[in-house]
């Protein structure tokens, strides 16, 4: 059963980053999941719940709005269990993710953006409309499905606590749907309320406004295009009560830090993983980290899904990409 292979991903101390930032930096390597991303966790919880609650019949179609990774996880799990998948993706979805969706036999629908249920040409609106008008379909709706939070509360949070032997002091998580940071933050705060739970989003995304009680503009905001994170609306799966702070970072800085890490460590960061590291690099002085701290960087996927977006010298990266 594929469920047996989801989770229990490594927490690795990064010697290069620990030395560079003069504290203990750990990487939660979520690309060791079967679908190569953290989204396997939420996808399994959402799919399993729908089947158990008889929200979909055998052979039905799971529907999702996704920047790619959740769609890939839904498609992989659906295929494994004998269901179909129809994934509504935004224009920004990487070529590598599209190929994987096709490999898992998902039907793909391209939409203009992922700006929420109230926007007609968005992935969310189109996915909901399709599911509402077609029998034996189920819209997993990761932006408002509580199982998105529950997956990380039940699995990722406990793993981080156990793997750090209760020593974790900070965790930095990219914020897209808000499910990962909310589930992780809720669990860790229950163990030790002093743990700092920090989110990372692109410039001009709206989470920082929300956290600071600033009204979100009615007009559609254009945030930096860092695939997988950032929003123009606040999803139901974001729990501000367990998040201490949101840091913003630019697309350019994220790309720069990804390429720098590849040169220094010969490894490829995913787009939102690079954003998390870029936030650490940019806001380090403000974070006031101590030498004895244990800082976890949550890396949802691997850079081999973003070769064309982040890494230009593809030929020299062929071996890494194969790995």
DSSP 145: -
Distance CA 38, CA 184 (A): 12
Question: Given strand 137-139, what is the order of strands in its sheet?
Answer: 107-111, 84-90, 61-66, 137-139
Whole-number pLDDT of residue 56: 98
Report angle CA 274, 280, 283 to the nearest 5 degrees. 130
Whole-number pLDDT of residue 315: 42
Burial class of residue 313, CB neighbours in 10 A (0-12, 13-18, 19+)? exposed
Query: Which of residues 45 and 115 earns the better pLDDT score?
Result: 45
Whole-number pLDDT of residue 91: 85
Whole-number pLDDT of residue 59: 96
Whole-number pLDDT of residue 314: 45
Question: Given strand 11-13, what is the order of strands in its sheet?
Answer: 11-13, 24-29, 294-299, 170-174, 196-202, 245-249
What percentage of residues in the chain have a pLDDT greater than 70? 97
DSSP 91: T
- CB distance 35 to 78 below 8 Å: no
Spatial neighbors of 250 by CB under 8 A, at least 6 apart, are: 202, 203, 224, 278
DSSP 221: P
Q: What is the helix, strand, coil percentage profile of the chain, to 5?
A: 45, 20, 35
Distance CA 15, CA 36 (A): 23
The helix/strand/coil state of 141 is: coil
Encode pLDDT of 108-149 as tens digits: 999 998 888 888 899 999 999 999 999 999 999 999 999 999
Q: Which of 138, 147, 146, 151 minimizes the C-alpha distance to 58?
A: 138
Q: Where do the DSSP E strands lie in the chain? A: 11-13, 24-29, 61-66, 84-90, 107-111, 137-139, 170-174, 196-202, 245-249, 294-299
Whole-number pLDDT of residue 313: 63
pLDDT band at 220; cut points 50, 70, 90: confident
At residue 79, does pLDDT exceed 60?
yes
The stretch 20-25 carries a mean pLDDT of 98
Report angle CA 227, 228, 232 to the nearest 5 degrees. 95
DSSP 217: P
24-29/11-13 β-pairing: antiparallel
Distance CA 103, CA 68 (A): 13
The stretch 81-92 carries a mean pLDDT of 94
Distance CA 261, CA 105 (A): 34
What percentage of residues in the chain have a pLDDT greater than 90? 89
Distance CA 170, CA 177 (A): 20
Cα dist from 2 to 5, 76, 138, 152, 156, whole Å: 6, 9, 20, 17, 17
Distance CA 32, CA 149 (A): 20
Phi-psi region of 312 (alpha: psi -120 to 50; beta: other; left: phi over 0): alpha
At residue 321, does pLDDT exceed 60?
no
The stretch 217-239 carries a mean pLDDT of 91
Distance CA 156, CA 30 (A): 10
Per-chain mean pLDDT for the chain = 95
Encode pLDDT of 249-307 as tens digits: 999 999 999 999 999 999 999 999 999 999 999 999 999 999 999 999 999 999 999 99
């Amino acid at each position: 059963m594929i469920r047996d292979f989801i989770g229990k991903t490594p927490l690795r101390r990064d010697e290069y980053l620990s030395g560079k930032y003069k504290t203990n930096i750990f990487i939660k390597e979520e690309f060791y999941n079967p679908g190569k991303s953290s989204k396997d966790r939420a996808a399994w919880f959402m799919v399993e719940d729908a089947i158990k609650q008889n929200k979909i019949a055998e052979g039905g179609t799971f529907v999702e709005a996704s920047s790619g990774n959740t769609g890939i996880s839904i498609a992989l799990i659906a295929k494994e269990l004998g269901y179909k998948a129809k994934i509504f993706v935004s224009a920004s979805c990487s070529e590598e993710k599209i190929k994987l969706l096709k490999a898992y036999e998902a039907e793909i629908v391209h939409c203009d953006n992922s700006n929420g249920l109230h926007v007609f040409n968005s992935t969310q609106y189109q996915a909901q409309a399709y599911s509402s008008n077609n029998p034996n379909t189920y819209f997993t709706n990761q932006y408002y499905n509580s199982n998105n939070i529950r997956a990380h509360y039940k699995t990722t949070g406990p793993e981080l606590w156990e793997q750090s032997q209760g020593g974790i002091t900070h965790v930095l998580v990219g914020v897209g749907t808000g499910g990962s940071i909310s589930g992780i933050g809720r669990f860790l705060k229950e163990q030790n309320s002093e743990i700092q739970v920090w989110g990372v989003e692109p410039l001009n995304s709206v989470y920082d406004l929300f956290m600071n009680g600033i009204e979100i503009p009615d007009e559609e905001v254009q945030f930096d295009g860092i695939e997988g994170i950032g929003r123009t609306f606040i999803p139901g799966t974001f729990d501000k009560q367990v998040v201490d702070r949101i840091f913003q970072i630019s697309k350019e800085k994220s790309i720069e830090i990804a390429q720098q890490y590849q040169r220094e460590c010969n490894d490829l960061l995913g787009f939102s993983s690079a954003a998390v590291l870029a936030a650490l690099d940019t806001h380090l002085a403000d974070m006031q980290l101590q030498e004895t701290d244990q800082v976890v960087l949550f890396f949802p996927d691997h850079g081999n899904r973003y070769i064309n977006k982040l890494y230009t010298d593809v030929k020299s990266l062929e071996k890494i990409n194969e790995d």
